[in-house]
Amino acid sequence: MAATASSPRASRWTRLPVIAQLRQSVGLQRGMLVTGLVLTAIFVLTAILAPVLAPYGFSQLRGPDGAFGAQQPPSAEHWLGTTQGGYDVLSRLIWGSRTALLVIIVAVVASILVGVTLGLISGYFGGWLDRTLVVIADAIYAFPSLLLAIVLAIVISGGQSSMWGGILAAALSITVIFIPQYLRVTRAEVIRIKSEAFVESARVIGAGHARIMTRHVLRNSTRTLPLILTLNASEAILTLAGLGFLGFGIEPTAAAEWGYDLNKAVSDVTSGIWWTSVFPGTAIVLVVLGLTLVGESLNDLADPRLRKRAAGAEPVEDLGVDPAVPGAAATPETTKEAAR
C-alpha cells in the first residue's frame, strides 16, 4: 500500500493511465499488456508514416514499367502481390491503417463527447429524462451493431462514398452503437459520485449545477473510460471491416480499406489465390489483437479479483474521491456492463 507513495520516482508521469498499469502489472499480464502496446504502436506509426512506408499509392495501377497486372503473386516489385483490381497489396495494407486509425479517432471522440455528456446529464439530474435515455440506450445496445451500422451507412453516405464520406459514415455509425455504453458507464459513476460529501459541500457553498457537473462530478467519473476506449477502438475496426466486406466500404480510389479488399478477395480464395485475403485479414487481426490486449489487461488490472499482486505494489489511485469507497468497488460492475 505504501509503496507508491514512498517511491521517489513514482511521480506525475507514473500516474498516467497506461503507465500506472504497466508498473502495476507482473508476469503474464505484463506480457499481454506490453504485446498489446507494441502492436498498437506499430499500427499508429504505420498509419502516420503511410506515405513514407508505402511503395505505391493506394489507388495506383501502374508503375514506371507499365501496369501492375491483376492477381500477381508476391514478387520483388510487389512484396505481397497485387489484387484482383490490379492494386499493390502491400501499399493498400499500409494505407489501410490510416483509414482505420481515422475511423477509430472520429468514432471514439464523437461517442465519448456525446455519450459522456448524456451520461452526465442523465445521472446527475435523474428523473424521467434519465429513464427515457436509459430505455433508449438499452434498446439500441441490444441490437446487432453491424445491422445498425448498415442502416446508418445507407443514411449517411447512400452506401458508396469518397474517403471522408466513407470514414464519417463508418465512424458515425459506430458512434451510435457506442454512445449507450459510454452513457451507462458514465451514468453509473455519476450516480455514485453525486452522493459523495464533496459534491454536497460544493452545493452548500453555492456552486451551480454546471460547475458541480464539470468540476466535481465529471472529473471523478472518467476513470473507467480508457478501458472502454480500447475495447471500443477494436470494435470500431471490426465494424468498419464488416461494413467494407458487405460492400459498404470506401471506394478503392478514395482510400484503402481492409474490409473492402477482403470482399474483393472472396472469389480469389476459391481459385487458390491467397495473398489478396491473408494479408489484409492478418492486418485486421493484429490491430484488433493489440487493442484488445491493452483493453483486457487494463480491465484485469482494474478488477482486484483478477489482478495478480506484484510484491507489495498496491496502487492508491487517489482522485480526490472519498477514500472510504475503494476505487475498485465500482469498476467490476461498470466494466462488466461495458464488456457485455
Shortest gap between Cβ of 233 and another protein (angstroms)?
A: 12
Q: Which is nearer to another protein, 182 or 279 (CB)?
A: 279
Cell matching residue 270: 476459391
Helical segments of 49-126, H only: 50-53, 89-125
Of 45, 59, 28, 175, the residue nearest 116 (C-alpha) = 175
Q: Which is nearer to another protein, 88 or 296 (CB)?
A: 296
Alpha carbon distance 92, 261 (integer Å): 8
Shortest gap between Cβ of 309 and another protein (angstroms)?
A: 11
Shortest gap between Cβ of 312 and another protein (angstroms)?
A: 18
Q: Which is nearer to another protein, 12 or 305 (CB)?
A: 305
Q: Which is nearer to another protein, 70 or 246 (CB)?
A: 246
Shortest gap between Cβ of 147 and another protein (angstroms)?
A: 5
Q: Which is nearer to another protein, 189 or 268 (CB)?
A: 268
Alpha carbon distance 38, 156 (integer Å): 35
Of 303, 183, 188, the residue nearest 232 (C-alpha) = 183
Write the DSSP string, 30-55.
HHHHHHHHHHHHHHHHHHHTHHHH-S
Shortest gap between Cβ of 134 and another protein (angstroms)?
A: 11
Q: Which is nearer to another protein, 200 or 314 (CB)?
A: 314
**Segments of the chain assigned E as strands:** 62-63, 66-67
Q: Are 88 and 60 in contact (CB under 8 A)?
A: yes
Alpha carbon distance 236, 258 (integer Å): 13
Shortest gap between Cβ of 307 and another protein (angstroms)?
A: 11
Where does this chain bind another protein (CB under 8 A)?
A: 27-28, 31-32, 135-136, 138-140, 142-147, 150-152, 154-155, 158-159, 234, 238, 241-242, 245-248, 259, 262, 265-266, 269-272, 274, 277-278, 281, 284-286, 288-289, 292-293, 296, 305-306, 308, 340
Radius of gyration of the chain (CA): 23
